[in-house]
Amino acid sequence: DYVLCEEWGHLYPVPREDLINLHREHLLHLLEMGDTNKALQLLQRIEDPGICLAISEQSIDQHPNLAASHFLADYLTAHFYANLTTARRNEIQALYMGSKVLLTLPELSRVNYFHLSSRPLLMLEQLLMNMKVDWVAVAVQTLHQLLAGQEIGFTVEDIDNLLSKYAEKALNFPFALKEKRS
């Protein structure tokens, strides 16, 4: 049905908003089905870059599944980086990094942290609080690799400060040890 509607749009004038809605729904459908190749082909077929940007941004704002969010964040960063405001750029890059960290977690646990996908530092803190030290190690390594040369609102130093804060708390004992007297 989407293909038929797209063909119809080539033959008859369709209002811009309707065209954006059609392509957005088609894109989200393809991404939900896991067909990133067809999703990429769809985006490449759209001749107007403004419409393509609108479709991609509206799609990512719909908070699709993890793989779709990762794809859209990557696409927007790769193709429309210069067209985005600094705040929006940071938001999309944070979502990209958060989804990348989520993909390193065990599949069954991803759902517990998905709501934090656009806030990687908060996700890292949640993992620390849940004592998922092995997961934190992989997440920190992933974030260090992704942050190389990037400016997205937090830095490697912020990650190190967070880790230091929780390491200090882990060593903080709420009681004093009593000495044994002979």
Residue 56 pLDDT > 90: yes
* Extents of the domains making up the chain: 1-84, 86-171
Nearest to 99 by CA among 87, 109, 113: 113
pLDDT bracket for residue 182 (50, 70, 90): low
pLDDT for 52 equals 92
Half-sphere exposure of residue 86: CA atoms within 13 angstroms, side-chain side: 3
pLDDT for 167 equals 82
Angle, vertex CA 49, rays to CA 46 and CA 52, nearest 5? 60
Cβ distance 96 to 70 under 8 Å?
yes
Residue 98 vs residue 178, higher pLDDT = 98
78: exposed, middle or buried (Cβ count in 10 Å: 0-12, 13-18, 19+): exposed
What letter represents residue 59's amino acid? S
Residue 63 pLDDT > 70: yes
- In whole angstroms, what is the distance from residue 52 CA to residue 45 CA? 9
pLDDT for 126 equals 92
Of 15-24, 38-47, 153-162, the one with minimum mean pLDDT is 153-162
pLDDT bracket for residue 159 (50, 70, 90): confident
- In whole angstroms, what is the distance from residue 9 CA to residue 15 CA? 9
What letter represents residue 84's amino acid? L
How much is the average pLDDT of 4-32? 87
- In whole angstroms, what is the distance from residue 137 CA to residue 124 CA? 10
For the chain, the distance separating the N- and C-terminal CA atoms, rounded to the nearest angstrom, is 87
